[in-house]
Structure 1
């Protein structure tokens, strides 16, 4: 397994196809702002559905706190678009992420399942405006993930620290 990213590390430059066209660049998109990067298992995961729904419902609070959010998985574009529509996902959403690249560059865990294929386990990052990691949450399975309220409180705390 690749080495996991630590607080203070710069998030690696990745290119993930975006639902609806274009490309997500988590390390560069929203540069100068706090941001959250959510890697989810797939549209079929009930825990991922709960997390994505929670972030979608917290969109106004996240916006008021000036926190940008993006998410991606290995799901293809059609499954990702349906997933986003089901939850009213208001943030950029990536699809078709390459498991081996993400594991090698971020240290995320992966899983091979006979019915689900090869996918990424839930991983979440909070990035500072300079693209450095403020918090990383690695899960080896379905549970253990970022939640919007914790992210908002963490960013408020980080902003309160002397420069």
Structure 2
């Protein structure tokens, strides 16, 4: 049955219009329904946008009021908390190419072991940000557009750049 849901998502749901278009005709609800059968956990009011790629969906958890942005590419193990906003074309990686043995061509070395990515509640990830394996983005953080996140991000930090560095911290009003 899982294979049928994957086929329906990748052949139909993924190509339906973005949810903010007046002609979307329930695309958000259809993608949500399909992903409910593919992800390990999906909360209430989750928005999977047009073009989102997530492999098989295994080991992916998304909390209430969160979503995957337009044309994003993510893989599990991935846990996204509640109220997380994600801009378009965000990439989240959980493994990389193995490159440790100089006597074997890199293409023949396979992949590194998967390292889970954890994104806590109330995080904003800007457009085209890249998050690398094993990164933990803590509560209330902001990842600037185009940032390459190679290390954990503290709570309420605003990070940007390549590699991402702390720009400043959010303050209480």
Alignment TM class, shorter chain as reference: under 0.3
Structure showing greater Rg: 2
TM-score by length of 1: 0.27
Specify which structure has the bigger relative contact order, considering alpha-carbon pairs within 8 angstroms and separated by 6 or more residues.
1
